[in-house]
Every structure is written in structure tokens, then in C-alpha cells.
A and B are shown apart, each in its own frame.
Chain A
Amino acid sequence: MSGTLDQLPRLLALVPYLLARPGVPFATAAADFGVTEERLRKDLNLLWLCGLPGHYPGDLIEIEFEGDTITLSDAQGVDRPLRLTVDEALALVVALRTLAETPGLAEPEPVLRALAKVEAAAGTAAEPAERVEVAIFGDDQVLPVVREALEKKRALRLRYWTAGRDEITDRVVDPLRLVTADGQPYLEAWCRRAEGVRMFHLGRVQEVQLLDEPAAPPADVPSRDLSQGLFQPDELDTVVTLALEPGAAWVSDYYPCDTVEELGDGRQVVTLRTQGTAWVRRLALSLGTRGRVLAPAELAEQVRVDAERALAAYRYH
């Protein structure tokens, strides 16, 4: 973090930051800039050596320390932050546009106002942002109710389709947070029926009702780290091995596989972990001859029996 490409932009932002906040505590400034206090001290020791040509006392950036506070009194011309770069403008503008374009995720009006102001301030640096688009699938019915429940800390009643078992159940949940994965919104909530934390895909919510009772998740619910994806493997999961023909290569793109072995000519052997195997049976059926369950053997047999039963149904209708 001490390279010029990190330090100089920080210093150029630090000067106007301090100028606008006389007497700011060390700890606050360090936290705002995401650096240690020691790093901040080094930055400040460098700053007051800098200034206008000549470097006479009145030409230098002036900083005073009093107790734990910092006061910068002369910025020597760097009193405003540097403009946003193309990458910075892109990051903010595309993120705001994504919020504005996703129904139900945020109140659109303040997002659009913030977007207009940021675009105006960024100027031409905001132009390349039109080359990046992000789709998050929102909706006008379920998402606003979930957001309201989170804001007001109230419980929700959900009528929910569990895709893995292809069944619909009613449950009361205590919302924890709204997250997205693969561009789809999910509610992480304490499910009173299952007595555990569950992820609810909002696209599978058939009906949602905001309850009057407060959300009351158990106090000791751990906060999960979702940076590696929503579905993390578990020791208790079944390990499934699938052989995939070229026409089924999308499977390894689509599902989080533990291992993917390329056999050449586009054929693959993949392993994945799952709690329930009902969905794997359906996947194997829909793949037909382009896929085959190699293990567990019982699962392969179940798929064969599923196909036999379905075939029988066609004989009668």
C-alpha cells in the first residue's frame, strides 16, 4: 500500500478532506481512508514537506496536531479533490443505473437524482459507463414487501415453491438480509418452520404478506460470509459424479461443481455436492443421453426407474 499509485491519490484526497474538517480525530480520518493511524501519520509527515515552489514557511501545506486531532489550515491549491477517473465514474454510474433499473430494489427517485449529479460531476469520464450493463432481476410485488419487512424489522409470511422438491409450502420467516446471487434476489431469513437459516429465491415466492409481529430471529444466528457464493458445500452433502457429453457442457457453467475433468472433445466428468438429490434426478432426466450419473449407483438406478415410470404414464395416455 505504500506505492506512489496508492499514496499520491490518497494524499490528494486527504488534503481537501482535512481542510473541510478542522480538528478531525486521528482515528476518524484513518478509518475514513481505510488505513492504520501509523500509515496516516506517515502521510501527514510527508504532506507538510510539500508546497509551492520556493518552499518558504508560508508556501508549505500547514498542519497542526492538538492531542489526537488534526487541523490543516493551508492546502496550497489542492483544496478540492481530483476529478473522478473513467474507472471510478464507471463503477459509481453503472452501480446507480443498476439500482435504478431493478424494479423494487430501491426507491427509484433518489437513485435517479444521485445518478444525475454523479454523472454531471464526472463529466466526460462517465461516458464509457454506457458500455457496461448489469441485470438484476427485481419485481414490483415481492421485493418491496421484503424491503419493508427489513426496514421495519417485521416478520413475513411466505408461500414458497421449493424447486428441489417441487413443492409449495407456507412458512413464517424472520428476515435477516436481502442478497443477490447470479443476478437474482434472495432473502436470507430465519425459517420458523425449519428452525434454521434459509435462503429464499424471491422469484419462487408465490405470495408474501407483511405481518404485524416483529421479526425475532434467534440472537445467536451467525452471519454467513457469502463472498464465495450462496451455496457452500457441507460435510453431510451427497457427492454426485456426472458424465457430460458436449451438449451438456452448460451444466458445469451453471452449477457450482467441486471438480471438472475435461476428457477432450468437449466431454467432461464433474462432481458436485448437494443436500437433496431430487433435483439431480430431474437434471439427469432432462439431460437424456447427454448426461449420466456415475455415482452414487443408487442415484443412477433411481433415474432409470424414474424414466421407466414416466414411460408407463405415456402408455396410458
Chain B
Amino acid sequence: MAAKKTERLLNLVICLLATRRYLTVQQIRDAVPGYETGNEEAFRRMFERDKEELRELGVPLETGSNSHWDDEVGYRIARRDYQLPELVLEPDEAAALGLAARLWQSAPLAGATGSALLKLRAAGIETPAGATGLEPRIGASEPAFEAVLAAATHGRRLRFRYRTAGRPTDEDRHVEPWGVVSWRGRWYLVGHDLVREAPRVFRLSRIVGDVKAEGPDGAVAKPEGVDLRAMVVREADEMQPRQTARVRVRSGSCWELRRSATSVTPDEPGWEVVELGFSDTERFADRITGYGADAVVLAPEDARESVVRRLTALATR
């Protein structure tokens, strides 16, 4: 029964915290209620499972022996490793933590925040729930998120199937994860692609099916000097502008073009000419075509032709 087991584990924690000497398995069996029944083998199995559960909860079980000529392994919990160190927050710091704690909208980070706040509350820290009107939120709707986050933070290799935009079939990927990044509301995995032998950025929403983590914790280290966010930005966003275009825009329209313009000069009544930078002609043409008759590329000629080609295809179908 669950309550019996909780009781046994709590007694085990109290017992191992109270001892300075390492306690042998037999001493533990004699001291902790709940272990007395059953045969030796059943007890050993039970104790192994209990140790595993405590470690999962973050209880630091220490193993060792009491002296050099004593070769039986014993257990104890060092108080300084077990307990949360002294932590006192000023009211403005607690308010900041309260705001931060509401950032995570979905599992597993929302749950981890909840259990962290319980511990802090137990240490006497109250974080105001606060109706401040500030509600920044980060979600994670990608099904692969939880598994990828766990592998990245515990340093384990990953295998998954991945859909690349514009390619007809999914591909198997084998990756050493360096970290995960949320950029413009999407989560990305950054790591070393073991098949392609190069650093790669993966969008979590394009991971198909289950994610498998392999190897022991800590097997993958993030290399020194890797800037996760910069890698994602390079992948997700357009490069720095390399060319300049002149575009005639209708007054009172094309506000997004005007914002990125380096200059805006009046033209015929009802029109202005903006100058703005771009890097990729085809992508720039996509963007301008969206404005229809409100934006006309004057230069360069190849961008102008590119827009005309798009419009012709659209007008004649």
C-alpha cells in the first residue's frame, strides 16, 4: 500500500539523517519499520527499489564504510548534502521569483516549479501570487518537448525521426544534445548531429514519433563557447542584409516595410520611396509581393523581375 511505503521511506530518511556512522543493510533492516516482514531476498529487493526512489526524489544517499578494515558497504545521508541551504529573499526578490514562477505554462517545467516553490515555502519564503497584470507565459506544446528537455539537461544522446521542410520523407537522426532554446514561441534542439558530423538545429515540432535517449547521464557535454541562442537565431531568421532595394510604397500602407527602411522620401502625391536592406532576393520578392499594388520594387532589377514573375503566375491562373 502506498501509505505504508511512504511511511517506510520517511522513516528511512529520518534514520539515515540521524546517523553519523554508515549503517549496514542489516542495521537498516533492524531499525526501520516496514522491513521486518518477508525473507531476506524480498527485503533486499525492496531496499533496492526504495534506494532508487529516494535518489529519484533527489535524496543524496551516501555509501561507504566506517573504517578501512570494514569492507561491508553502509549508508547514510549527510545533512549538508540533504538540506536546502539558508535562503532569505527580500520582498522585491520574492516578487521577482513569484513572477518568474508563473512563466512556465506546461509540463514538466510547471510541475517542477510547483515542487520547488513548496520547498522554498517550507524554508519560509513566501512568493506573492500577485495580481500585477503581468502574465508572461512560455508554453511547450511539442510532443517531443519533455523527452528532449530531459536528455539535454541530463546530457544523454538522442535518436528520433525528423521531418525536414520540403523533403518528402522523414529521416533518422542521432544527436548529442547541447541544449534547447525557445525562440519566437517555438522550441529548438541544438546539438551535434552524429551522422552528418556537424552542429545542427532541430525544430521540436518536426520530430516525428517517439524520442529515445541513450547512454548514461552526463555522457554529452555542451562544448565551451557554444552560444545556443545565436545558433537558433541564425537558423530561424534571415541573415544580415547585404543588398539595398528601393521600393515605391503607397502612403498610409506598408508599415512593416517602413519600419525596416533606412530612408523614406516623398514621391508623387500619395506615394513615398523607401530604401531597405535584404539578403535573399527570392525571400525579399515573396515579402514585397504580399503588398500587392501598394508596393512596387524600383531597384534592383532582379528583385523587380522576381516580383513580376510571381504576380504574372498568380494573375493568369
* Chain A residues close to B by CB (< 8 Å): 2-5, 7-17, 20, 32-34, 42, 46-47, 49-55, 76-78, 80-92, 94-96, 98-99, 102, 105-107, 110-111, 113-114, 117-118, 120-121, 123, 125, 128-137, 147, 150-151, 161, 163, 166-168, 175-185, 226-227, 246-247, 249-250, 253, 264-266, 281-289, 292, 303-304, 306-314, 317
A181–B109 Cα gap in the complex (Å)? 17
Q: Does B58 lie within 8 Å of A82, measured CB to CB?
A: yes
Q: Does A17 lie within 8 Å of B121, measured CB to CB?
A: yes
Q: Does A92 lie within 8 Å of B133, measured CB to CB?
A: no
Q: Which residues of A contact B205 (CB under 8 A)?
A: 253
With A117-B88, A253-B203 given, name 7 new contacts (CB 8 A).
Answer: A3-B2, A84-B116, A86-B58, A98-B136, A132-B153, A137-B184, A247-B165
Q: Does A121 lie within 8 Å of B87, measured CB to CB?
A: yes
Provide the B81-109 mask, 1 if CB < 8 A to any CB of A, else 0. Answer: 11111111110111111011101110011
By secondary structure, the A interface counts as helix
- From known contacts A85-B58, A111-B100, A184-B185, infer whether A285 and B116 are also in contact, taking CB-CB under 8 Å: no
Q: Does B165 lie within 8 Å of A136, measured CB to CB?
A: no
Q: Which residues of A contact B308 (CB under 8 A)?
A: 311, 314
Q: Which residues of B contact A176 (CB under 8 A)?
A: 133
A17–B119 Cα gap in the complex (Å)? 8
Q: Which residues of B contact A310 (CB under 8 A)?
A: 289, 291-293, 296, 311
Nearest chain A residue, comparing its CB with the CB of B19: A53
Q: Does A4 lie within 8 Å of B184, measured CB to CB?
A: no
Q: Does B119 lie within 8 Å of A84, measured CB to CB?
A: yes
Q: A123 to nearest B CB, angstroms? A: 7
Give the residues from 28 to 65 in chain B that come closer than 8 angstroms, CB to CB, to chain A. Answer: 31-33, 53, 56-60
- From known contacts A2-B2, A95-B100, A117-B87, infer whether A82 and B289 are also in contact, taking CB-CB under 8 Å: no
Please tell me if B144 contacts chain A, counting CB pairs below 8 Å.
no
Q: Does A111 lie within 8 Å of B96, measured CB to CB?
A: yes
- From known contacts A2-B2, A110-B95, A226-B137, infer whether A133 and B114 are also in contact, taking CB-CB under 8 Å: no
Q: Which residues of A contact B99 (CB under 8 A)?
A: 99, 106
Q: A122 to nearest B CB, angstroms? A: 9
Q: Which residues of B contact A132 (CB under 8 A)?
A: 149, 152-153, 179-181
Q: Which residues of A contact B222 (CB under 8 A)?
A: 130-131
Q: Does A8 lie within 8 Å of B85, measured CB to CB?
A: no
Q: A85 to nearest B CB, angstroms? A: 4
- From known contacts A32-B121, A81-B122, A82-B82, infer whether A289 and B6 are also in contact, taking CB-CB under 8 Å: no
- From known contacts A12-B10, A177-B133, infer whether A5 and B53 are also in contact, taking CB-CB under 8 Å: yes
Of B67-75, B193-201, B253-261, the one with at least 4 CB within 8 A of chain A: B253-261
Nearest chain B residue, comparing its CB with the CB of A97: B100
Q: Does A117 lie within 8 Å of B113, measured CB to CB?
A: no
